[in-house]
């Protein structure tokens, strides 16, 4: 299964936020045997988001989009997904009722905060999803996420994103396994071993050198677990490996 990640947010493009959502999702998906094919960050721009949702949705088995859901003017991700699939946005009564209940519960729980600030949320907007979307709802998030065709839309706040991903995690699976070995040998002294292990075992091999005096990493992956294990055993025999750095 091949999955692309699409991160929405000007603040990520400005370097104010490091994209830990993407690395968290990439690790989760890779751990499930999925191949993450692209990670793209785009601005809070409905047309650009729609373009990439469409492109990745056609090109890969699934797309996970994070960020830009909610009730303010710059939250345009859900509208962009509707546009990508040429579907209208519809107010979901079930979501609207949930939001009203949440707002009431919030007022009871935090009366001082509710009194200090005048909440002015367009509930219809927050409760709207593309026609036919499957809503994703968690206790952590105010706005619903959704699934449209093979596109999964999750919030941008990391805790909220992770909880919502849990709801759909089992829909992601694949047969890709990988293993990483460490070597004290400088990359320049690995010789032809990397190309040879790739050709012998039919696996993908990546070499990621570290600064001098730290071990480098060799990452072996493939869809045949026996081939990956064989390749790793061969590497341990051939190029000298060591423990990972602390």
Give least dist CB 132 to a copy of itself, A. 27
CA distances to 20, 170, 196, 232, 244 from 192, in Å: 35, 40, 6, 15, 23
Count of residues in contact with a copy of itself, rule CB under 8 A: 71
- Phi, psi for 199 (deg, rounded to 5): -70, -40
- What is the side-by-side order of every strand in the sheet holding 177-183? 177-183, 216-222, 204-208
- Binding to a copy of itself (CB under 8 A) within 143-202 occurs at 156-157, 159, 178, 180, 185-192, 194-195, 198
Minimum CB–partner distance for residue 35 and a copy of itself (Å):
8
51 binds a copy of itself (CB under 8 A): no
Q: Is 228 in the site for a copy of itself (CB under 8 A)?
A: no
In the chain, the DSSP E strands lie at 2-8, 35-42, 62-66, 89-91, 128-130, 134-136, 145-148, 151-154, 177-183, 204-208, 216-222
Mapping DSSP to helix (H, G, I), strand (E, B) and coil, where does residue 174 land? Answer: coil
Q: Supply the minimum distance, in Å, between the C-beta of residue 238 and a copy of itself.
A: 13
Footprint of a copy of itself on residues 3-32 (CB under 8 A)?
7, 9-20, 22-30
Contacting a copy of itself (CB under 8 A), which of 32, 33, 39, 131? 39
Among 97, 208, 226, 236, binds a copy of itself (CB under 8 A): 208
Q: Return the number of the residue (87 or 123) whose C-beta is nearest a copy of itself.
A: 123
User: How do strand 145-148 and strand 134-136 relate by DSSP bridges?
Assistant: antiparallel
Is the CB of 94 or the CB of 107 nearer to a copy of itself? 107
Burial of 34 per CB tally in 10 Å (0-12, 13-18, 19+): buried
Of the ranges 55-63, 117-125, 164-172, 224-232, which one interacts with a copy of itself (CB under 8 A)?
Answer: 117-125
Q: Concatenate the DSSP letters of all residues of 61-130 into one string.
A: SEEEEES--SSSTT--HHHHHHHHTT--EEE-HHHHHHHHHHHHHHHHH-HHHHHHS-----HHHHTEEE
The reply to whether 205 sits near a copy of itself by the rule CB under 8 A is yes
Binding residues for a copy of itself restricted to 59-88, rule: CB under 8 A: 70-74
In contact, 241 and 190? CB cutoff 8 Å: no
- In angstroms, give the least distance from the CB of 135 to a copy of itself: 19
């Amino acid at each position: 299964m091949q999955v692309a990640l699409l991160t929405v947010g000007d603040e990520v493009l400005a370097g104010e936020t490091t994209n830990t959502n993407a690395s968290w999702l990439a690790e989760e998906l890779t751990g499930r045997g999925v191949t993450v094919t692209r990670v793209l960050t785009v601005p809070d721009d409905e047309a650009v988001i729609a373009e990439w949702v469409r492109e990745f949705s056609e090109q890969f088995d699934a797309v996970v989009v994070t960020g830009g859901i909610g009730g303010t003017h710059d939250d345009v991700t859900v509208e962009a997904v509707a546009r990508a699939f040429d579907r209208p946005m519809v107010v979901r009564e079930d979501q609207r009722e949930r939001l009203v209940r949440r707002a009431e519960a919030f007022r009871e729980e935090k009366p001082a905060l509710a009194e200090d600030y005048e909440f002015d949320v367009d509930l219809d907007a927050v409760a709207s999803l593309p026609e036919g979307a499957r809503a994703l709802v968690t206790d952590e998030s105010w706005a619903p996420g959704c699934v449209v065709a093979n596109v999964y839309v999750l919030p941008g706040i990391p805790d909220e994103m992770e909880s919502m991903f849990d709801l759909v995690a089992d829909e992601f699976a694949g047969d890709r396994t990988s293993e990483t070995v460490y070597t004290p040998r400088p990359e320049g002294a690995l010789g032809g071993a990397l190309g040879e292990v790739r050709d012998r075992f039919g696996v993908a091999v990546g070499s990621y050198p570290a600064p001098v005096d730290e071990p480098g990493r060799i990452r072996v992956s493939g869809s045949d677990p026996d081939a990956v294990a064989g390749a790793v055993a061969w590497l341990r025999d051939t190029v000298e490996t060591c423990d990972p750095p602390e």
